[in-house]
Structures are given as C-alpha cells and as structure tokens.
Chains A and B, each alone.
Chain A
Amino acid sequence: MSGVTLAVLVSWGVVTGVDLVSFLQAMVARPLVAATVAGAILGDPGAGVLVGMGLELFALEVLPVGGARYPDYGPAATAASVVAAGGGSEALGLGVVVGLAVAHLGEWTVVVLRRRNTLRVREAATGLDAGDLHTIQRVQLGGIARDAVRALALTLGGIGLAMAVRRWPPVQGRAALLLLAVLVGIGLATAAMNGKRLAQGRSGAAWLAVGVTGGIAWLALR
C-alpha cells in the first residue's frame, strides 16, 4: 500500500468515525458504505462490498436509542477492507473478524469520548449557563475535534491490526472459508432476529417470512 493510499484510507476512516455521531450522520459510517469506499480506495471495490455485506448483517443489531452504547463500524469496515482487498474468498472471513474486533474496540472509545465530553461540559458550566456564545462554540466544536482524534486513533489501530492479520493469517484454506461461513450464519440470524422485532406485535415474524419467501422466489426466478 502506497503512502498516498494509506493517507486517503485513514482520512476516510476518520470521516466515517465522525459521521457515527458528531457530524452529519448520513450513514457513511455503515459498514456497507464504509467498506465499499475503502475497497475502492484499495483498488478492489468488490472485496469491499463483500466484507461490508458481512459486517452490515451484524450492524442490523444496532438500535442507537437514547444514550445507548454501540460498536463503531466505520473505521472497522475500513480496516476490514484492508484484510479483504486482493485476498480472495479466504480473506473475507478474516476481514469480518478484524471488522468486528475494531468495531467492538470502537464502542469502548465512544464511552471514553463521552466521559471526556462530560468533564469538558462541567468545566464550562458557568459560561454555558450564562449563555456565553464563545463558550458554547468552544465546547461544541471541541467535541467534533475530540471525536476526530478518536476516529483517527481507531482507524490507525484498525489498519495496523489488519496488516498484521494479512501478514500472519491465523486461519487459511478451508478453515478460512469455514470461518466466513460461520460468521455469515451468525450475521444472517442476527439480521433476521432483529428484523422480526422492528414491526410491533407479532406481525414482525409474518412480514419477515413474507420477505424471505419473496427473496427465495426472486432467486429462483431470476
């Protein structure tokens, strides 16, 4: 990977990390989007799409209501693409594992960030209560800066882990394919269980079943 590619990739990881909560929330942080773009940056958009699909199934579990904790899939999907790009089917399962690990670490970094924000708000309480615009601006824009630093650290750590896994893959050959299969199975079940609860009452299972039937019919007829 060239220095320019690495720089663009890291920048993309930061953009996706900040998109999670701090700015825009346009869902470029979703693994399907983040991994597709990261794959394109690495010259293998197809691998990015595939690893992004695997992670997106897991991301369907996330319901970010209130102050809930949730994994950060943007930098994670970027790191996952580093493993998957150019590695064929055997690298996809490992890419998903790296993505899950970084996303899980990302959840912890979001908790740390919120604690930092709380301290900053306490320090600035007098200015905030007095309605001082400069204090409000400093606290608010400082939040974005802190989140960008968090996303940068997570992306760099994730890419480092991805490069290590590429160099010393813990599973290879049939075991790597089996790993992919097991993870896809867990992801599919996760998507189904969470899809079912999105409609109120018992109708969720019915709508899900209608969808699955339609999907199977589509596969059979196309």
Chain B
Amino acid sequence: MAGPSVIAFVRAGLRLLTVQACFNHERMIGVGVGYATEPLLRALPDGVGGDRYRAAMGRATQYFNAHPYMVGLAAGALARAEHDNVPGPQVERLRTALVSPLGALGDRLVWAGTLPVASAVGLALSTDTRAGLGAVAMLGVYNVPHLVLRVWGLLAGWRHGTRVGRALANPLLHAALRVVGPAAALAIGFAIPLVAAHLVGGFDLTIWTGSAAGIALAVGVLRWLAPTLGAVRLGLLAAAVVALGSAW
C-alpha cells in the first residue's frame, strides 16, 4: 500500500488546527474533519478526483463531534480505514463510535484538566513583579501537552486504523486522566490566596469587606439561588448595584 507522504501528514496536522472553523449545528465539526483528512486521502488508488477519493471525502464531511485536540485520532484512523479498503458502512460506524470516547477523553484531559492547571499557574505567577511572566507560563504549560496530543493523535490514528481503540487504551493517557483533575483543583486552590492578596490585599478593611461580600454573594447565588445565572451575569448585576448605589 502506498501511504500518504510526510508532507501529507504535515498538511493534515496544520489543517487540524482549523478543525472547528465551520462549527455548525448540523454537522458540528464534520466539515473540518473532512478538510483535515483530505491530504491523507490523496494517495488513494485513482488519486484526487477518483471514485474512491470522492466517496471517502463525501463520508469524511458528515456529522462529527469530539474534542478538537482528539480529532486527529479520528482523522488518522478514518483515513487509514479508507486506504485499507474497509467498506463504507463500516467506516461510517467507526466514525460514529469515535464521537463519544474522543469527546469525553479530551474534555476531561484538556478542558477540565490541563487548561485550569495552566490558568492557575498563570494566575499564581502573575503575582510576580515581572509583567508577562504569568501569561508566558500559562501558554507554555498549556500548549506543550496540547501540541503533543494533536501530533500523537494523528499518528496513532493512522497507525491503528480501525483498531484505534488500542490507542485510547494508552497507559500514559489513563495516568494523565487520574492526575489532571486533582492537579487542577490543587493548583486553583494555591492560586486563590495569592491572587486575592495581590489584587485587594493592599487596601483597607472596607475594601476587604467588599470582597467578602462578593464571595458570599457568589456562593449564595451561584450555588443555591440561581446556579444557571453564571458568574458573568452576576458580576454585571453586582456592578450595576454598586454604580446605582454610588450615584444615589
């Protein structure tokens, strides 16, 4: 089998960076998956424009949704299945089967793990006098695993094809899943007193009382009274009350 070239993998990897560009309520990120997979399908027999290429591309743009960083795993596996001449309906079943695990895995690993850890590290280091240290640290802590995950996913998907479930059983992945949640809670906890001291620590008791009132308000409203209100709307409402009180 003449597989895709290294250039094709680089192209697919770069296109994966745009996988959510046309996020929509009909096919979700399906069009993005098709766009990212396309360079890997060019090496199919009959080449670009051939029957197999067009059929594979038609399948590749159908409904798909998963965590964007894990989509490479699907793109690689689906492209490999097309190269292995797996029947179309089976490719479609593989596609459907990957939605939930890739979504759940990525959400826990990245959105509920790496991102809050990076955010907390950035917040803690922002209390340093060197402006920008926190932002640089946040980008570094976040993007190293981010890019590793994207590259690994594409290559592992291609290597395993229809047996892509083996890649999801990677012990490193499961070790990371066990660690990131507690690490995120720990890191956020550590950052909270540092941020509080940095932003309002230098003021007097009246201002501290204002912060205590803000904490009580948020806990009372967002935990018990109106959990769906959200912190942004609560913040805006509180600001309106302070402004009206000040004017009055």
* Inter-chain contacts of A200 with B (CB < 8 A): 181
- The verdict on A117 contacting B203 (CB below 8 Å), with A131-B56, A144-B18, A211-B185 known, is no
B47 located at the interface, meaning its Cβ lies under 8 Å from any Cβ of chain A in the complex: no
- The verdict on A184 contacting B199 (CB below 8 Å), with A53-B123, A212-B190 known, is yes
* Inter-chain contacts of A52 with B (CB < 8 A): 126, 135
Q: How far is the CB of B130 from chain A (nearest CB, A)?
A: 10
Question: Smallest CB-CB separation from A174: which chain B residue?
Answer: B206
A133 touches B207 (CB 8 A): no
- The verdict on A199 contacting B184 (CB below 8 Å), with A27-B142, A53-B198, A114-B23 known, is yes
* Inter-chain contacts of A181 with B (CB < 8 A): 200, 203, 207-211, 214
- The verdict on A121 contacting B24 (CB below 8 Å), with A37-B135, A186-B231 known, is yes
What CA separation (Å) do A170 and B54 show in the bound complex? 60
What CA separation (Å) do A28 and B27 show in the bound complex? 27
A67 touches B48 (CB 8 A): no
Contact flags B146-173 to A (C-beta < 8 A → 1, else 0): 1000000000000000000000000000
What CA separation (Å) do A186 and B198 show in the bound complex? 16
* Inter-chain contacts of B116 with A (CB < 8 A): 60, 194-195, 198
Question: Smallest CB-CB separation from B54: which chain A residue?
Answer: A131
What CA separation (Å) do A170 and B244 show in the bound complex? 9
Q: Which residues of chain A in 17-62 are interfacial with respect to chain B, using CB atoms and an 8 Å cutoff?
A: 21-28, 30, 32-33, 36-37, 39-40, 45-46, 48-50, 52-54, 56-61
B232 touches A58 (CB 8 A): yes
What CA separation (Å) do A219 and B235 show in the bound complex? 27
Contact flags B106-129 to A (C-beta < 8 A → 1, else 0): 010001110110111011101000
Contact flags A183-222 to B (C-beta < 8 A → 1, else 0): 1111111111111101110011001111111111011000
- The verdict on A131 contacting B57 (CB below 8 Å), with A65-B107, A186-B215, A215-B193 known, is yes
Question: Smallest CB-CB separation from A76: which chain B residue?
Answer: B232
Interface residues on B, range: 35 or more
Interface residues on A, range: 35 or more
A171 touches B242 (CB 8 A): yes
- The verdict on A188 contacting B195 (CB below 8 Å), with A27-B139, A179-B242 known, is yes
A164 located at the interface, meaning its Cβ lies under 8 Å from any Cβ of chain B in the complex: no
Q: Which of B25, B31, B186, B222 contacts A136 (CB 8 A)?
A: B31
* Inter-chain contacts of B243 with A (CB < 8 A): 170-171, 175, 179
Of A33, A58, A198, chain B has the most CB atoms within 10 Å of the CB of A198
* Inter-chain contacts of B61 with A (CB < 8 A): 128-129, 131, 136
* Inter-chain contacts of A114 with B (CB < 8 A): 23-25
B219 located at the interface, meaning its Cβ lies under 8 Å from any Cβ of chain A in the complex: yes
A163 located at the interface, meaning its Cβ lies under 8 Å from any Cβ of chain B in the complex: no
* Inter-chain contacts of A100 with B (CB < 8 A): 232, 235-236, 239
Contact flags A73-85 to B (C-beta < 8 A → 1, else 0): 0000000000000
* Inter-chain contacts of A92 with B (CB < 8 A): 199
- The verdict on A67 contacting B199 (CB below 8 Å), with A45-B131, A188-B192, A193-B222 known, is no
Other CB < 8 Å A-B pairs besides A194-B116, A215-B124, 8 of them? Answer: A32-B123, A36-B132, A60-B116, A101-B236, A115-B25, A141-B18, A144-B21, A181-B211
A selection of 28 A-B contacts at a CB cut-off of 8 Å is A21-B20, A22-B23, A37-B135, A46-B131, A56-B119, A61-B230, A63-B111, A65-B111, A71-B232, A100-B232, A104-B233, A114-B23, A115-B25, A118-B25, A121-B24, A130-B54, A131-B53, A133-B38, A136-B57, A141-B18, A184-B200, A185-B210, A188-B192, A192-B192, A198-B188, A204-B182, A214-B189, A215-B194
Q: B residues within 8 Å of A by Cβ?
A: 17-18, 20-28, 31-32, 34-35, 38, 48, 53-61, 65, 68-69, 103, 107, 111-113, 115-116, 118-120, 122-124, 126, 131-132, 134-135, 138-139, 142-143, 146, 181-182, 184-200, 203, 206-219, 222-223, 230-236, 238-239, 242-243, 245-247
